[in-house]
Amino acid sequence: MARALPESHEVVHRSCPLCEAHCGVSVEVDRTSQTVVTIRGDEADPRSGGYLCPKAYGLKGLHEDPDRLRGPQRRVGPRGDPDATWEEIGWDEAFDLVGEQLRAVREAHGPNSIATYIGNPTAHDLGSLVYGQVFQRALGTKWRFSASSVDQLPKMMSSAFLYGNPLGFPVPDIDRTDFLLMLGANPLVSNGSLCTAPDFPGRLAKLRGRGGRLVVVDPRRTETAAIADEHLAIRPGSDAYFLFALANVLFEEGLVSLGPLKAFTNGVEEVQTLAKDFPPEAVEAATGIKAATTRRIARELAATERAVCYGRIGTCTQAFGTLSSWLVDVVNVLSGNVDRPGGAMWPRAASGPGVDPPRAPGPAPYGRWHTHVRGLPEFNGELPVAALAEEIDEAPEAERVHAMVTMAGNPVLSTPNGARLAKAFESLDFMVSVDIYRNETTRFADVILPPTGQLEHSNYEMVFDLMSVRHWSKYSPRVMPKPDDARDASEILSELAGRMAGVGAEVVEQVMLSSLLAEAVGRPGTPCPDVTEAEAREKLGDMPGTDRVLDLLLRAGPHGDRFADASDGLSLERVRAAEHGLDLGPMEPRLPAMLATESGRLELAPPVFVEDVERLRSDLAARSGRDGLVLIGRRNLRSNNSWMHNVEALAKGPERCTLLVHPEDAARLGLVDGATARVRSRVGELTAPVALDAGLLQGVVSLPHGYGHGAPGAQLGVAARHAGVNTNLLTDERDIDVPSGNGVFSGIPVEVAPA
Ligand SMILES: Nc1nc2c(c(=O)[nH]1)N[C@H]1C(S)=C(S)[C@@H](COP(=O)(O)OP(=O)(O)OC[C@H]3O[C@@H](n4cnc5c(=O)[nH]c(N)nc54)[C@H](O)[C@@H]3O)O[C@H]1N2
Ligand SMILES: Nc1nc2c(c(=O)[nH]1)N[C@H]1C(S)=C(S)[C@@H](COP(=O)(O)OP(=O)(O)OC[C@H]3O[C@@H](n4cnc5c(=O)[nH]c(N)nc54)[C@H](O)[C@@H]3O)O[C@H]1N2
Ligand code: SF4
Ligand SMILES: [Mo]
């Protein structure tokens, strides 16, 4: 029921930037006091229809949080010294200091001695995304790290090698499918990942309502498993066996049917040969899933007209992350469920970076350089963060990382062996963090540069246009006034880029615009070959940075107006005018035109993946000898990785950082509900309160990530009172998914005992 809005109040509609769903929020603001009054779900948003999860309400607390940094800070005292103090400094002084120090390191040790780490919120912020790239280019370093290598890097590998684009993720068409086989995802809590589908729970209910089936494959009976038709409790890290077994059955029972893909797919016979080694009976002990069940699932996949297999973080952050991610695609291809409604499809991203039109065909961006210590391969321009600490504390002096830049990341809590990384940070010559908090990571910085908060600048969810289940476009306007003397991420990063390149921020802006224009207009192969750069510039006008970039991307994008006045295609103006967002229709088939592999074909059996199958095979034999406890992770509806823990409204309530233990394991270990357990792994040890969970597979324990607050030097008053422990004190930086180098969080061998 609409209530009358007080005269001084205004409602601004935007997207919630806190997870990939990007639900529409309506923020009511009192313009007299400039305060957030309420946050509601935007019922007119075509994407989310009013749905919100509890985190959205935390946007008010986040905006008001007194601990959120409002201006640059400089540490006084040695790095890592618990008694170090922090002083506020002006922006010019901060930029000068950072510029001087980074240039000094670069001059002394070369560009690769400066490492960057880009965290997850960057993906949810257009300014950080676009200008973060510009800044990294100005630094000139190849030692780039990001949260991708503790997340979806294996899926990017699969997309790059099979289809020719690391960001061309096949998206499960959950709105039209009748059979969803979901591995290693818990969207009832996470709200979905690599699949932007606001109100994921509602969409799953609809799937079941139309007679469709949901099968969840997870070591724990999760919130999602609980509403599924079937839950298969799989042993951690064994998905590749299960998926190979599905492929095996499809081949053996003559159920393979590629449909139109047959005309342009290579490697099917090779996959068939590989799958021969993994019949359901041979992998039953490793997966814990009965052979008969695996056979039935394979038949159901093949028999259901519209079916799709979807794997997420549980299939990526494990020892066989790349193989599992690849095999999800293999199963979809073999069962004829790629590129058709109800299967796995590719959206045409309204702001489509590098995907639409497809990039030029070529080899996957892989292994062009390697880390110094372990020789781990680069992928898509970045190195695996599991190797970051050793690149600082173990690499030869001439090669090592001397300075660190973090942007919207908290790797001390979110990457394997966080304790070692924290120690390594202490030994740096210089560190700067672009972040809104002084936390477990940024407390090691010499300077922290905080950008405006999400409500204080405009935004557009560019990355997630690439993985949405429908074509949507929504602009998020600035909700709250930009405080005096505050800087947006775009301003901070272009200023820093200018310092590194020895030019002014204005020049950085011009160079960036020119390079974006060169990709968009004026020559064959660009989306607007008949538009000249001068014409495009004139139409874009001279509005501030991020908005102009967005206008360009939207207009040149697949739904864009291509700079034609008569067109009703997208432009910033049009998207902005639709304050609740635009629905541009369902996904449509895009193959083979979208393929950008070297051969121009769908490469189902890339050599890097085929080679790794040997490791999988030898592990199958080794598995039978292992019977200890293994650790997995989980997420909570009121928690967001490591950084929403300072919002009281979300942090309060029962202890969430508990060690889940199966009751029978607990009895054997002498643990009871609420007791304190000591957990030990190769790299570390911690204690955590025990919570019994009969929904866990026996032999598996679970601890959430993102906790372990209360570090000296951090400024997180609320989080410190709900500190919890850092599960990444237990995860092992040596344990990686070999092809991608991705961190492993699932299946960590641990010993558990009463504390
Ligand atoms: N054991 C284990 N570890 C995991 C995972 C797991 O499942 N288990 N999950 C992994 C996954 S999927 C991810 S994505 C990573 C996340 O890893 P990270 O990206 O390293 O960590 P976050 O917790 O997302 O931290 C975000 C940081 O950004 C800051 N921040 C928030 N908003 C803004 C903003 O608007 N601008 C700027 N500049 N800074 C901002 C916060 O203060 C915080 O420092 O963690 C990974 N780590
Ligand atoms: N509330 C909330 N929402 C979030 C986040 C958050 O921190 N809190 N983080 C966001 C981020 S950055 C991401 S990447 C997404 C992730 O989104 P999801 O992929 O849905 O992540 P999780 O909820 O961690 O679910 C992963 C599931 O994998 C299971 N699992 C663990 N090991 C294995 C295994 O070996 N095999 C299989 N098959 N399953 C396994 C776990 O038990 C867990 O249920 O969530 C996003 N949404
Ligand atoms: S699911 Fe929650 S956190 Fe994610 S976008 Fe929607 S409201 Fe925000
Ligand atoms: Mo993530």
Which atom of ligand 1 lies closest to the CA of 120? 19
Q: At 574, phi and psi to the nearest 5? A: -70, -40
pLDDT at 434: 98
Between CA 709 and CA 130 the distance in angstroms is 30
Q: What are the residues whose beta carbons fall under 8 Å from the beta carbon of 383, sequence distance 6 or more? A: 142, 143, 144, 145, 149, 369, 371, 376, 391, 741
Q: Cα dist. 172→15, 306, 341, 465 in Å?
A: 22, 11, 9, 14
Ligand closest to Cα of 315 equals 2
Between CA 543 and CA 552 the distance in angstroms is 12
Residue type, 627: D
Dump pLDDT digits (tens) for 334-369. Answer: 999 999 999 999 999 999 755 566 678 899 999 999
Tell me which residue has tokens 């540069």: 449
Residue type, 308: V
Residue 156: which pLDDT band, with cuts at 50, 70 and 90?
Answer: very high
Angle between helices 607-623 and 321-334 in degrees, nearest 10: 110
Per DSSP, the three-state class of 582 is strand
Give first-to-last CA distance, the chain, whole Å: 54
Ligand 2: residue of 55, 156, 186, 235 to mutate (most ligand atoms within 8 A of CB) is 186
Q: At 741, phi and psi to the nearest 5? A: 75, 5
Between CA 57 and CA 25 the distance in angstroms is 9
Q: Classify residue 170 by its DSSP letter.
A: P
Please check the confidence at residue 1 and state whether its pLDDT lies above 60. Answer: no
Radius of gyration in angstroms for the set of CA atoms belonging to the chain, rounded to a whole number: 25
* Closest listed residue to residue 250, CA positions, set 230, 275, 287: 275
One DSSP character per residue, 301-331 reads HHHSSSEEEEE-HHHHSSTTHHHHHHHHHHH
Cα-to-chain-centroid distance, residue 202? 22
Q: How far is the CA of 120 from the centre of ligand 4 (A)?
A: 6
Paired with 699 in beta bridges are: none
Dump pLDDT digits (tens) for 256-292. Answer: 999 999 999 999 999 999 999 999 999 999 999 999 9
Ligand closest to Cα of 121 equals 1
Domain with CATH 3.40.228.10 in the chain: 167-351+591-611
Strands (DSSP E) found in 135-195: 144-146, 171-172, 179-183
Between CA 367 and CA 296 the distance in angstroms is 39
Q: Which two tokens stand for residue 400?
A: 């090592």
- Rounded (10°) CA dihedral 88, 94, 98, 99: -170
Q: At 291, phi and psi to the nearest 5? A: -55, -40
Domain with CATH 3.40.50.740 in the chain: 73-152+367-449
One DSSP character per residue, 322-381 reads HHHHHHHHHHHHHTT-BSSTTSEE----TT-TTTTTTPPP---SEEEEE-SSS-PEEETT
Output the ligand 1 site: residues, CB below 6 A: 119-121, 125, 128, 147, 150-151, 313, 317, 407-411, 414, 434-437, 439, 451, 454, 489, 633, 641-643, 705-706, 727-728, 731, 745
Dump pLDDT digits (tens) for 50-95. Answer: 999 999 999 999 999 999 999 999 999 999 888 899 999 999 999 9
659-661 and 307-311: which strand pairing?
unpaired
Q: How far is the CA of 226 from the centre of ligand 3 (A)?
A: 21
Q: How many helices (H) and strands (E) does the chain have?
A: 26, 32
Dump pLDDT digits (tens) for 610-669. Answer: 999 999 999 998 887 788 999 999 999 999 999 999 999 999 999 999 999 999 999 999
Ligand closest to Cα of 642 equals 1
Q: At 542, phi and psi to the nearest 5? A: -125, 35
Q: How far is the CA of 49 from the centre of ligand 2 (A)?
A: 24
CB of 191 shorter than 6 A to ligand 2: yes
pLDDT at 149: 98
Tell me which residue has tokens 């893909």: 261
Tell me which residue has tokens 């993102």: 706
**Residue-wise burial string across 367-400, b where 16 or more C-beta atoms lie within 10 A, e elsewhere:** eeeebbbbebbbbbebbbbbbbbbbbbebeeeeb
Mean pLDDT across the stretch 384-389?
Answer: 98
Q: Which CATH architecture has domain 167-351+591-611?
A: 3-Layer(aba) Sandwich (3.40)
- Rounded (10°) CA dihedral 267, 250, 193, 551: 50
Per DSSP, the three-state class of 702 is strand
Q: Which two tokens stand for residue 267?
A: 């490697």
Ligand 2: residue of 200, 218, 287 to mutate (most ligand atoms within 8 A of CB) is 218
Instruction: Name the helix (H) or strand (E) containing 710.
Output: none
CB of 193 shorter than 6 A to ligand 3: no
3-state secondary structure 487-527: CCHHHHHHHHHHHHHCCCHHHHHHHHHHHHHHHHECCCCCC
One DSSP character per residue, 652-687 reads -SS----EEE-HHHHHHHT--TT-EEEEE-SS-EEE
Between CA 700 and CA 665 the distance in angstroms is 9
Between CA 647 and CA 66 the distance in angstroms is 10
Instruction: Name the helix (H) or strand (E) containing 257.
Output: none
Paired with 27 in beta bridges are: 12, 39
Which atom of ligand 1 lies closest to the CA of 193? 12
pLDDT at 80: 83
**Residue-wise burial string across 521-532, b where 16 or more C-beta atoms lie within 10 A, e elsewhere:** bbeeebbbeebe
Between CA 561 and CA 755 the distance in angstroms is 64
Mean pLDDT across the stretch 549-575?
Answer: 95
Check if the beta carbon of residue 450 is closer than 8 Å to that of residue 72. yes
Check if the beta carbon of residue 431 is closer than 8 Å to that of residue 446. yes
Domain with CATH 2.40.40.20 in the chain: 627-754
Q: 627-754, what's its fold? A: Barwin-like endoglucanases (2.40.40)
Check if the beta carbon of residue 53 is closer than 8 Å to that of residue 201. no
Please check the confidence at residue 4 and state whether its pLDDT lies above 90. Answer: no
pLDDT at 82: 82
Burial status of residue 292 (CB atoms within 10 A of its CB: 0-12, 13-18, 19 or more)? exposed
Mean pLDDT across the stretch 375-387?
Answer: 98
Instruction: Name the helix (H) or strand (E) containing 24.
Output: strand 24-30
Q: What percent of the chain has pLDDT over 90?
A: 95
CA angle 135–17–179, rounded 5-degree value:
115
pLDDT at 353: 59
Q: Which two tokens stand for residue 166?
A: 């690391």
Q: How far is the CA of 16 from the centre of ligand 3 (A)?
A: 6
Q: Classify residue 80 by its DSSP letter.
A: T
Which atom of ligand 2 lies closest to the CA of 702? 42
pLDDT at 357: 61
pLDDT at 530: 95
pLDDT at 545: 84
pLDDT at 360: 83
Check if the beta carbon of residue 699 is closer than 8 Å to that of residue 665. yes
Dump pLDDT digits (tens) for 659-708. Answer: 999 999 999 999 999 999 999 999 999 999 999 999 999 999 999 999 99
pLDDT at 2: 62
Q: How far is the CA of 411 from the centre of ligand 1 (A)?
A: 7
What is the domain class of 73-152+367-449 according to CATH?
Answer: alpha beta
pLDDT at 355: 58
Q: What are the residues whose beta carbons fall under 8 Å from the beta carbon of 242, sequence distance 6 or more? A: 183, 217, 232, 234, 283, 287, 289, 294
